[in-house]
Amino acid sequence: MKEYAAFDAMGLAELVRAGEVSSKELLDEAVSRAHAAQSELNCFSSLYPDLAEAQLADLPTDGPFAGVPFITKDLAVMIDGAPLTNGSVSWKGHVSSQDSVLTERYRKAGLVMFGQTTSPEFGLTTTTESTLYGQTRNPWDVTRTSGGSSGGASAAVAAGVVPLAQASDGGGSIRIPAACTGLFGMKPSRGRTPMGPLQTEGWNGMSTVHAVSRTVRDNAALLDASHGRETGSRYVAPTPEGSFLEAVSRDPVPLKIALWRTAPNGTELSPEAAEGLTATGHLLESLGHTVVEAAPVLNGEELGKAALFTISANVAAAIDARSVMLGRDVREDELEPITFAMANLGRTVPMMELARANNLFNAAAITFERFLDDQKLDLILTPTLFRPPEKLGVLALTASPEQMNAAVSTFAPLCPLFNQIGAPAMSVPLHWTDPTETAPQGLPLGMMFGGRCGSEELLYSLAGQLERADPWVDRFPPVWVG
């Protein structure tokens, strides 16, 4: 078990298949590490090793991750018999009575689920802080955020609890935590992964689910195991030509990549982000790719307003649904202040505004793809974060609305675009800032690549090439539970 962290999830599964370690031994090690990480980082909302041990009795042996311990996010992903609070006091005490479709696919892949990671209330911000669970801390600097809304997942993986964890993304919530903690994170195309069985999309299609990981191959293999149409889905992402895992080991042909320096809302890069972007551009050119500075013309203010209306309307509907479950109205003191305000906004958004928001997202998707076609581009590149990981408290749903809105809109301002247009995007840990007093090894600051809808194979191919050219897997944060 001293060598546990030397293996990624696929490597651990190989050890189980070879009989060199048992799935029970891996589970015990992961649970022990989870307790250690919890005391340092507060990254778990619940642990349930008893449910995991029961799963061992009927564990599939032919799955790609057979016997590997795994954690899901405390947001919409159900595990039969496990707590699910969605980071909200209004959901405190709730226990799921069924599995999500995603969970069923994870079980079939052989993953052993033993805990859930923290999320801000309903995944509504880019930090993982809540009244219910408190602040989740970054293992690179415990005074800073591990990102949101999948910050519990990113903190746990970055600290060495597990090599791979489930995450979700409605406006950057896979990519931002990955960037904050030095991990790889992929937001898939709309319709790529299942959201059911209760619904087949989140936030009118802006939200999707997948994972953060230490290695690219784990991430790709998990998408191979979990993607595909589910019952009732009204759309599905384009079928890949091969497997996502195969793409990782295959260098892409020379690509033409657009480098974006300014977000559609006008946010400029910090010096640290600009340094990382320049260095990544040079790395790409050394690998034979062409990098050009170019960006489509998009109205960031209008897109941001459309996203706010869409999310607020969905928040209001979710709170009303919870009220029906409870048999009473959800009280104001059971919600974060900004969540409560968003719900009130959502109840007053004119129906025309939701139609207009959807039209704006469609127009942005058309503009984006035409930009790629006209410029003969394959992908875009921009920093995931426009400045280093923020201090805790600044991005929280309990902050002043003016402070929180200004901080969130400038922290990772290009991430939401790919949710709005339904295209895939990934954060790759290619840059660290200079050391500081509270971050003696520097802070990670991810680089984001995005492409056309259905281009995950191309993204994984480039990610594998970058991982081989500039590896990050041996960089460990100060808080390392192994």
Residues catalogued as catalytic: 73, 149, 173
Closest among 71, 53, 232, 220 to 152, alpha carbons compared? 71
Closest among 248, 220, 178 to 472, alpha carbons compared? 178
User: Residue 324 contacts by C-beta under 8 Å, 6 or more apart in sequence?
Assistant: none
Q: What is the DSSP letter of 202?
A: B
Torsion of CA 354, 357, 359, 363, to 10 degrees: -170
Closest among 332, 386, 362, 381 to 90, alpha carbons compared? 332
Q: What's the CA gap between 306 and 272, in Å, rounded?
A: 30
Q: 335: helix, coil or strand?
A: coil
Q: In what order do the strands lie in the sheet with 69-73?
A: 44-47, 112-117, 69-73
**Please, is 57 exposed, middle or buried when counting C-beta atoms within 10 Å of its C-beta (0-12, 13-18, 19+)?**
exposed
What is the residue type of 83? P
What are the residues facing 391 on neighbouring strands?
144
Angle (nearest 5°) at CA 30 between 395 and 168: 35
User: Residue 360 contacts by C-beta under 8 Å, 6 or more apart in sequence?
Assistant: 299, 302, 303, 306, 420
As a whole number of Å, the CA-based R_g of the chain is 21
In the numeric block, the tokens 């969905």 are attached to 314
Structure tokens at 391: 């201090």
Conformation bin of residue 203: beta by default, left when phi > 0, alpha when psi is -120 to 50: left
User: What is the CB neighbour count within 10 angstroms for residue 227?
Assistant: 21
Closest among 112, 414, 445, 461 to 261, alpha carbons compared? 414
Q: Is 235:342 a contact under the CB 8 Å cutoff? A: no
The rounded Cα 164 to chain-centroid distance in angstroms is 12
Q: H-helix or E-strand containing 331?
A: none
Helical segments of 229-299, H only: 244-248, 271-286
Structure tokens at 196: 């059911």
Q: What's the CA gap between 132 and 118, in Å, rounded?
A: 10
